[in-house]
Structure 1
Amino acid sequence: MTLKGLSSGIASYDVGGPNATMHIEEQIDTYAPVNATRHGQRQLLVFPLSKGKKWSDEFSEDATSHVGHDAEWQYAYHAISQSHVIGTEKRHVGAGTFDTFVIERNTAWTKRDPHSSSTTLHALHCDDADCTVTGYSKEVFWYAPSIGRAVLRAYSQSGDSDYIWNRSPEEILRDASSLVTELVGYGSDATCRNPHPPLLARVPSAPWYGFPLFMNNTWEFLMQRDMARE
């Protein structure tokens, strides 16, 4: 992810490699991606941050996702989240060592009404009549005030709220089912063009507890595996 510009409180990024670049915009006051269909407020950060601070947010929005390069699909997403600044920590990542706030975010979410105009996805069907998926996620941010960015993020989800919400930040960070992203370059264009190797970043290597293990041709399975909203 590369920062491309900043205007009127909105940061613009290019995400991905040179052959598969996606453009996203993000509100710098709440750390939330811009979505014109959103009802309610998504607040990943609430300033000023301090140890022990808590907040909650709830929102609904239309989500657009992709399968491959040419298949696009949509669904309705609703989330209720509780966030808590649990402490401070000096954290070492690819881009260096930073003083951070450690923020836990627990979310209960639903996904429903999947649809697509792409012929690639016409074989998908709903396993249940309401075609709704309910799940729970835990996300941990290590936010560095010195650069205004989370330098490390660990995310995992489950069909069981007790299982996922009761895990510690280190358990989430080390779990094989977690998605972990980290900052590997910060500074001038030249610095970011030659990032350091990541220390912790990885994609999940194990399935999420409480969801089907094997791929099938239902919309429910596809919604369970889409984590762009969380």
Structure 2
Amino acid sequence: MMVAQLADPFIEDDPARLTRLHRALGEMYKERGHFKFALDHAEKLHELTLRLTRQTAGLQSRMLINTLEIEQARHETERSQLEAQVLRIRAEKLDQQAHTDPLTLLPNRRALDRQLPALMRRAHDRAQPLCAAMVDLDHFKRVNDAHGHATGDRVLAAMGTILTAAIRDSDLAVRLGGEEFLLVFGDATPADAAKACERLLDAVSGFRWDDVAPGLRCTVSIGLAVRNTGERTAHWLARADKALYEAKRAGRNRVESAPQ
């Protein structure tokens, strides 16, 4: 019966059954002393085992190669993602550097041009006032002349710290250049903006300037202007700048508000 099964033309498609038949026939012929037939089935079993082993090894090799290729593809994807992330971070850093004053770490004029329109649109959409304050260090040239430009740089850096602490998330503080700064108060009434400017005067005059240079004292003058409906930006900031010079003429270390 088992020999008949071996004659089945489809037996090669069932290696497991073929293995069982050769093993069983080999053992039976061996028990009956038909060693020639037993050896024949043992050899066929051996050939079959080798063939199956090679097939299994080939399949495992292909699986291993596929796994390695998948891993390599995954690593390539991760590397591409990391490279893209590095490029994005580098671009963000370059963009931040391009829009940040390196001395005070405040936004610069380029940042003002980019951020001010958004503040103006928000104020318009919410029907809220928008106030601009020009801030200028008093007698800054004397600081440089008496204490040196390195001390002057430290004074400007300290002003950056003071202004950053003075503003809210809805506000904007910018270094325009030299010793001049601009504050834009979002979501603040003119009275609120004026109070914030008075607090800024106190913060500057009360700062521990002795830590920057012995005997150093610094104050600022501020010109405040509320933007009128439909007013051009240049005209609005020019009114704040004019109010600043009025504060200078009135004795400095004070806030002057521009007429609307």
More strand by share: 1
Q: Which has the larger radius of gyration?
A: 2
Q: Tell me if TM exceeds 0.5.
A: no
More helix by share: 2
The two structures have a TM-score, normalised by structure 1, of 0.28
